[in-house]
């Protein structure tokens, strides 16, 4: 697999990559596939607000799979927990 970024937009928070997959058998290339992959990213507070806007409640964010650890560095893994809100009648 080989990946190449073909578009990065920091303002609108997305990038598009072109991914090339190759299938080899006994040293011979037998198939190639190209695929575009679009990725969008959100900040912690943006994602929290989106979850709340679509009806989740009690949204919590913690770091590195530890519910007692608040995110404080960009190299951490962020975990979101939330409860689905009960629709009002």
Q: What is the pLDDT of residues 12-64, one digit of tens each?
A: 999 999 999 999 999 999 999 999 999 999 999 999 999 999 999 999 999 99
Full-model pTM: 0.60
What is the reported pLDDT for 87?
59
Radius of gyration of the chain from Cα atoms?
19
| Calpha distance 39→46 (Å, rounded) | 16
Quote the pLDDT of residue 45: 92
Q: Which helix (H) or strand (E) holds 48?
A: helix 44-53
Count of residues in the chain? 89
pLDDT of residue 88: 58
Q: Quick: pLDDT tens for 60-80.
A: 999 999 999 999 999 999 999
d(CA 18, CA 2): 8
Q: State the pLDDT at residue 89.
A: 58
Position 86 scores a pLDDT of 77
């Amino acid at each position: 697999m080989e990946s190449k970024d073909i578009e990065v937009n920091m303002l609108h928070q997305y990038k598009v990559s072109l991914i090339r997959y190759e299938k080899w058998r006994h040293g011979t290339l037998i198939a190639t596939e190209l695929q575009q992959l679009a990725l969008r990213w959100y900040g912690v507070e943006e994602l929290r607000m989106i979850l709340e806007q679509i009806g989740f409640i009690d949204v919590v964010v913690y770091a590195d799979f530890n519910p007692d650890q608040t995110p404080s560095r960009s190299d951490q893994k962020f975990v979101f927990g939330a409860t689905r809100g009960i629709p009002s009648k």
